[in-house]
Amino acid sequence: MRVLLAMAALALVAAAPPARPLAVTLPDAEGLLPERYGVSADAANNNCLACHSAAMITAQPRLTRVQWGETIAKMRTVYGAPIDPADDKAILDWLVAD
């Protein structure tokens, strides 16, 4: 019975593939991360926003310094983010200054 239903859902159709070019524009990103309680966001802005916009960071739940450290390590080792190790402390200071 389930097989029959599955087959019924697969029906012959006539829609042709698209032929016309499609071009779009994307809206601007969220901009720079702001200073938090006097802690500068410069290191985070310089190292994080080349690959993703600011909302990727600001949308996260409250993470510990250790968890954020793991995230930085993942960005560096997996995604090849050229994060200067000398900036880690400043990035972490800002990430947990919430």
Partner 1 sequence: MGRYTIPMLTRRTLIASALAAPAAAQVDLGFADNGLRPTTRGFPQKGEMILQRSTPPLLETPLSVFDEADFTPNDRFYVRWHYPFPLEVDPARHRLRITGHVTKPRTLSLDALARLPRVEIAAVNQCAGNGRGLFAPRMAGAQWGNGAMGNALWEGVRLKDVLALAGIKPGAVAVRASGLDAPVVNSAPDYAKSLPIDHALSDDVLIAWGMNGQPLPLLNGFPLRLVVPGWYSTYWVKMLDQIEVLDRPDDGFWMAKAYLQPANSLADVDPASPAGQRVPVTTMRPRALVTNIASGARLPARPVTPVQGVALGGDHGVAMVELSADGGTSWVPAQLGPDHGRYAFRRFRGALALPPGKHSILARATNANGVTQPLRQNWNPSGYNRAGVEAVAVEIA
Neighbours of 24 (CB within 10 A): 4
Instruction: Compute CA distances 33 → 60, 61, 77, 81, whole Å.
Output: 13, 16, 23, 18
- Is 51 near partner 1 (CB under 8 A)? yes
- Angle ∠(87,37,55) on CA atoms, nearest 5: 65
Per-residue x/- mask for partner 1, residues 9 to 48, rule CB under 8 A? Answer: xxxxxxxxxxxxxxxxxxxxxxx--x-xx-----------
For helices 88-95 and 65-77, angle between their N-to-C axes, nearest 10 degrees: 130
Per-residue x/- mask for partner 1, residues 68 to 87, rule CB under 8 A? Answer: ---x------xxxxx-----
Report the residue number, 46 or 53, with the smaller CB distance to partner 1.
53
Task: Provide the binding-site residues for partner 1, judged by CB under 8 A.
Answer: 2, 5-31, 34, 36-37, 50-56, 58-63, 67, 71, 78-82, 98
